[in-house]
Amino acid sequence: MSKEKKLAKKQAKLDAKKAKLDAKRAKKEARYASLKSPSSAAADTAPVSAFDTPQRPVKPRKPFYRRWWFYVAIVILIVLIISGISSLFAPSIKDDFNLNGTGTLHGLAYKYPSSWTPSSKNDKDSATYTLKKDGKALGSFTLAYSGSGDLANKPISIAEFKTEKDQSIDEYEKLSVSGAEKVLYCKTSFTKGDDPWVSRSVLVYKDNVTFAIDIRAKESAMDDDTAKKLINGVDFKNFKSGVTIRKLSASYFGPTKAGTAISDKSKIVVYAKFSNGADGNLSDWHVTNPQKLATDKTSVIKIKCQDKTAKLKIVCSTMSKSNYMAHCKTYSYSDLTHKSTGKLQGALVKATGKVTQVIGSGEYLIDVGGDWDFGKYVHIVSSGNEGKVVEDDTITVYGKVAGDFQYETVLGANKTIPEINAKYINR
């Protein structure tokens, strides 16, 4: 076979192979074209502008239930549903606040929620009602008769309200209660178990007697307005105790020096005996003859409460010089020695003796009845208005027994002698 024939045969094989590949490619293109939409096909046949740009393929959008915000919204909705359900079933004092129960205590009418459980310990002097749900106490209301007299007196210690350990005082104020003559209110916080609680205590004075109201509840179960509704359910407006004052007396606990003013603001405690046999303090009194204490005088103060009057005598502690000296007594040295820190301490005393030693300015040792070796010495501390006093002067001292004084003798021994605070010294 010639060379030309071989090349022709080889070329024929290549052409057949190419034709076969072209047919196969055409078949694939036809199949692809049949799968495309008409619009896509039309787009394929449309002429291409020089300004046309190839479009990026559009990514399919996720459904809303596969987006992150959908899951956040679901969580928030679940929390709201749970909190709403718990609030629906959470026990609350407000749910049981119909004051349709009634009672009386020492003639005082009151109302309480009839759904609350009365205490088995209720008696003629005290009544307690408790709100319980699922066997747990959520709050209580107590009304108690505190007896004749004014416990809402002035001044009053906040400690009277502290009935639980570690209570903190939130409020201490006057509260308006219809019909009451005097009201003292205290609000405290404390912990019971793991829950914060609030106690609202009220002392109400009316017609010579005092009642105590105590309302306790979980902090989340009762607010101030609800508590005040319970307080106002007690009818003080129409209450009459029938208790009257039989006898009145008073004591004074203030300063007694000259010039001290005695008035309604003075430290006076007024004490009453009542028609029911009880006794107690009062606060609604007033001084009918205000005055100032005067030197050497005893003032008679008149104190009135309701239709009764008491007379209070106050002796002025300021004395004139002559009166002071007249009240000073002479005691034996033995009494001064043995009773200077006992019965005689503070007593007005008169002592005469010889000055044996001037210790310092206004300070002396005097011998009140003996020689140098066996002297009966007294230590004198003066007020400094007696002028110059020197050793061997004989002086008369007027003052108060001040106790004992210890000093060291010239021989080095310790000695204890009586001491007098001198107000006046005569030579």
Q: Which of 10-24, 207-221, 237-251 has the lowest mean pLDDT?
A: 10-24
Q: Are β-strands 414-426 and 377-381 bridged in parallel, bridged antiparallel, or unpaired?
A: parallel
Residue 158: its pLDDT value, please?
Answer: 44
Alpha carbon distance 138, 384 (integer Å): 71
Q: Which two tokens stand for residue 213?
A: 């109201």
Residue 153: its pLDDT value, please?
Answer: 58
Range with top average pLDDT, 94-98, 128-132, 369-373: 128-132
Q: Decide if pLDDT at 39 tops 60.
A: no
Residue 49: its pLDDT value, please?
Answer: 43
Residue 426: its pLDDT value, please?
Answer: 92
Tell me what the mean pLDDT of segment 350-373 comes to. Answer: 84
Q: How confident is the model at residue 211 (pLDDT cuts 50, 70, 90)?
A: very high
- Entry pTM: 0.59
Residue 254 near residue 122, CB atoms below 8 Å: no
Q: What is the pLDDT of residues 256-292, one digit of tens each?
A: 999 999 999 999 999 999 999 998 888 889 999 999 9
Closest CA to 263 of 252, 278, 274: 252
Residue 62: its pLDDT value, please?
Answer: 64
Averaged pLDDT of the chain = 83
Q: Decide if pLDDT at 161 tops 60.
A: no
Q: Give the domains, in start order, of the chain with CATH numbers.
A: 101-233 (3.40.1000.10), 245-315 (no CATH), 321-426 (2.40.50.140)
Q: Decide if pLDDT at 216 tops 50.
A: yes
Tell me what the mean pLDDT of segment 363-376 comes to. Answer: 76
- Cα-Cα-Cα-Cα torsion 20, 21, 27, 32, nearest 10 degrees, comes to 180
Alpha carbon distance 280, 180 (integer Å): 18
Q: Which of 38-42, 268-272, 377-381 has the lowest mean pLDDT?
A: 38-42
Q: Decide if pLDDT at 298 tops 70.
A: yes
Q: Decide if pLDDT at 24 tops 90.
A: no
Residue 208 near residue 243, CB atoms below 8 Å: yes
Q: Decide if pLDDT at 125 tops 80.
A: yes
Q: Nearest-5° angle of CA 185, CA 186, CA 188?
A: 155
Range with top average pLDDT, 54-63, 122-131, 178-187, 216-225: 122-131
Neighbouring residues of 229: CB distance < 8 A, sequence distance ≥ 6: 97, 99
Q: Which of 54-58, 131-135, 408-412 has the lowest mean pLDDT?
A: 54-58
Q: Decide if pLDDT at 88 tops 60.
A: no
Q: Decide if pLDDT at 155 tops 50.
A: no
Tell me what the mean pLDDT of segment 158-169 comes to. Answer: 46
Alpha carbon distance 416, 400 (integer Å): 18
Residue 149 near residue 182, CB atoms below 8 Å: no
Alpha carbon distance 1, 38 (integer Å): 56
Of 197 and 160, more confident: 197
Residue 370: its pLDDT value, please?
Answer: 60
**In a 3-state reduction of DSSP, which class is residue 181?**
coil
